[in-house]
Chain A
Amino acid sequence: MKAPAFSYMRAESVEHALELLSRHGDAAKILSGGQSLLPALNLRLAAPAILIDIGRLDELRGIDLRDNVVTIGALTRHVDLLASEEILSSLPLLRQAAAHVAHPAIRNRGTIGGNLAHADPASEFPACMLALDARMVIRREDGERRVDARDFFRGIYETALEPCELLVAIEIPRPQSGSRTYFHEFVRRSGDYAMTGLAALAHLDGAQFADLRLSYFAIGDRPYLARATSHLVGVAITGERIAEAQAALDAELDPPDDQQASAAMRRHFARLLLSRCVANVLERPELAMEAVT
Chain B
Amino acid sequence: MTTARIALMVNGEKISAEVPARLNLADFVRDQLGLTGTHVGCEHGVCGACTMRVNGEIIRSCLTLAVQADGCAVETIEGLSDSGEIADLQAAFRERNALQCGYCTPGMLITAQDLLLKHADPERTEIREHLSGNYCRCTGYHAIVDAVERTAKARQRRP
Contact = CB atoms under 8 A, between A and B. Distances in A.
Contact of B68 (A3, A43, A55): A55
B65 A43 contact: no
Interface string A17-55: 000000000000001001100110111000000010101
B58 interface: yes
Interface stretch (A100-108, A223-231, A249-257, A261-269): A100-108
B111 interface: yes
B88 to A, nearest CB: 21
A38 B59 contact: no
Contact of B21 (A6, A34, A55): A6
A259 to B, nearest CB: 15
Given A8-B2, A39-B44, A51-B21, A191 B133 contact: yes
Contact of B1 (A7, A42, A79, A108): A7
Name, among B20, B57, B63, B64, the residue most crowded by chain A CB atoms within 10 Å (CB to CB): B63
B1 A43 contact: no
Given A104-B130, A108-B59, A191-B132, A1 B43 contact: yes
A190 interface: yes
B39 interface: no
Interface residues of A, number: 32
B63 A104 contact: no
A189 interface: yes
B48 A8 contact: no
A177 to B, nearest CB: 31
A41 B43 CA distance: 10
B65 A39 contact: no
Nearest to A40: B44
A189 B135 CA distance: 11
A234 interface: no
A105 B44 contact: no
B44 A104 contact: no
A7 B2 contact: yes
Contact of A104 (B4, B20, B111): B111
A92 to B, nearest CB: 19
B121 interface: no
Contact of A105 (B2, B51, B68, B128): B51
Closest 6 CB pairs of A and B: A103-B133, A8-B21, A39-B44, A190-B132, A3-B22, A38-B63
Interface of B: 1-2, 4, 20-22, 24, 27, 43-45, 48, 51, 57-60, 62-65, 67-68, 111, 114, 128-130, 132-134
Given A35-B60, A106-B63, 18 more contacts: A2-B27, A3-B24, A5-B21, A7-B1, A34-B68, A35-B63, A38-B44, A38-B45, A39-B44, A39-B63, A42-B43, A102-B45, A102-B133, A104-B130, A105-B60, A108-B59, A109-B59, A189-B132
24 contacts: A1-B43, A5-B2, A6-B21, A6-B22, A7-B1, A8-B2, A8-B21, A8-B65, A34-B63, A38-B62, A39-B44, A39-B63, A102-B45, A102-B133, A103-B48, A103-B134, A104-B114, A105-B48, A105-B51, A105-B59, A105-B133, A109-B60, A189-B132, A190-B128
